[in-house]
Each structure stands twice: as C-alpha cells, then as structure tokens.
Amino acid sequence: MGTVILIRHARSTANANNILAGQSPGVRLDPTGVEQSKSLADLLGELPINRVFVSPLERCIDTISPWLTKYGNSVEVHSEPRIIEPDYGTWSGRSLEELTLEKLWSDVQHNPAEVTFPSGEKFADVWNRVADFYAQIRELANDGGNYIVVSHGDIIKFLIANVLNIRFEHFQALVVEPASISIAQFSEKRARLVQFNRSAQEIDALVRSLSPATLGGESGQKFRSSTQGSN
C-alpha cells in the first residue's frame, strides 16, 4: 500500500482578493500564504517521500519549497502539466463575485461537463487530464511508497473525486481550502481517503462563511454571492 499526500497551494495574492487566477503567470503567495507554506513544511516533517509532483505555476512551487529546503532536498521533483490550474480564458483575472453574474456560472456549478470557458479550456478536458494523472499516481502508489502532489483547488477536488468515485458533475460538493492537506492510500484492490481538507481554517470561519468560492477552490475568505439573498 502506498500513500499520496494532496496539497492545495497556500493562499495566493489572487485568493486574498477573491480573484480567479487561472494560468496567469506571476501569481505568488501573499504574506499569509508564505506563513502557511512554512507551517506546512513543519507539519509534514521528515517524511520518506519517493517523489513530488507539482503544478508548474509559481504559487504551487512556492508552497512546497520550504519543505523541500528543510526536509526534501534529495527528493525527485516533477513539474507536472496535467495538474496545472484550468485555463479559464477571459475569466482569468476577474473577481469571483463578478463571475457569479455570468450565465455560464450556473453550468459551472451544476453541469460542468458542458462548460467551455470563454477563450479557454473545456472543463471536461481538465477532468480527463487529471484522471490520466490519477491513473499514473495510483499505479505508482499501488507498488508502495509515498508521494506528494501540490496543485490547485479544482485539481485537488478532481483527484479526490476519483479516489471516492464521485462523478464529474458532483465534484463541487467537495471543499478544498488553501494550504490544506488530504491523504489517500492505495492498494491493488482499493483506494481510500484517510484525511480530507486538513487546514488551519478556524471552525468559526467555516460556520459563518456566507458563500465559499466554488470555482478555482475556496479562497479561505468570506464573500457574498449574487445568488444569495440579503439574509
């Protein structure tokens, strides 16, 4: 049996401002995210890791760098394009509050298989490339060993959905916070999720949250969706 540790990148400047970053280059961690990345390094500690797979975007590399420097300087690191953030096209760089006003938003939430982001990627193609990566990481873990995957909110949701056999159209039922850890274990006969969305988010913040983001992963901040009433 092998173990895969799924890490969503720490809070970025885009998360802090409730912006959908997409594949835009140069989006780095904000000060809170930098502290989260340091805490992650200490939380992970001296694990026997065979390989690290990381999205090519800077915020993911920034997130795992403290651990690599402190504990994993001899671990193989693979920049993996299949787990890069979706290409949201012209939605990239826009606020989530603004995007909730778009007609396409409802399909993003309830019918993602039919969504192609304007001038961007088809959501189903993102699901398929992540499923292809999942098949590889599961095969590796079936042979034993431990692996770290550092990626983005939607991508981590897709990977967890595969572990739990959740269909694509239902993946939005999952919540993945910045700097959160989820852990899956694999054997030849089964996959199981042994930890989900472990983060430093306070329970009070989750209980009182008015509307978590449901595209690109949760931001860790409260914001009011246009689909909600004033209550």
Q: How many domains does the chain have?
A: 1
- 12 falls within a domain: yes
Range of the domain at 185: 2-208
Nearest to 176 by CA among 4, 9, 5: 9
Helix (H) or strand (E) holding 140: helix 123-142
Q: How confident is the model at residue 210 (pLDDT cuts 50, 70, 90)?
A: low
- 220 falls within a domain: no
Look up the CATH number of the domain holding residue 181.
3.40.50.1240
Residue where the block lists tokens 């720490």: 10
Could you give the C-alpha distances from 105 to 99, 102, 155, 161, in angstroms and in order?
Answer: 7, 5, 18, 21
Interacting residues of 109 by C-beta distance below 8 A, sequence separation 6+: 172, 214
Is 34:85 a contact under the CB 8 Å cutoff?
A: no
Distance CA 119, CA 130 (A): 20
**pLDDT of 209:** 64
Could you give the C-alpha distances from 153 to 8, 85, 126, 176, in angstroms and in order?
Answer: 6, 8, 13, 6
- 227 falls within a domain: no
Is 159:149 a contact under the CB 8 Å cutoff?
A: yes
Q: What is the pLDDT of residues 64-99, one digit of tens each?
A: 999 999 999 999 999 999 999 999 999 999 999 999
* pLDDT(101) > 70: yes
Q: Are strands 76-79 and 181-186 parallel, antiparallel or unpaired?
A: unpaired
Q: How confident is the model at residue 6 (pLDDT cuts 50, 70, 90)?
A: very high
Nearest to 149 by CA among 7, 38, 37: 7
- 199 falls within a domain: yes
- 151 falls within a domain: yes
- 231 falls within a domain: no
Q: How confident is the model at residue 211 (pLDDT cuts 50, 70, 90)?
A: low
- 148 falls within a domain: yes
- 230 falls within a domain: no
Q: What is the pLDDT of residues 126-155, one digit of tens each?
A: 999 999 999 999 999 999 999 999 999 999
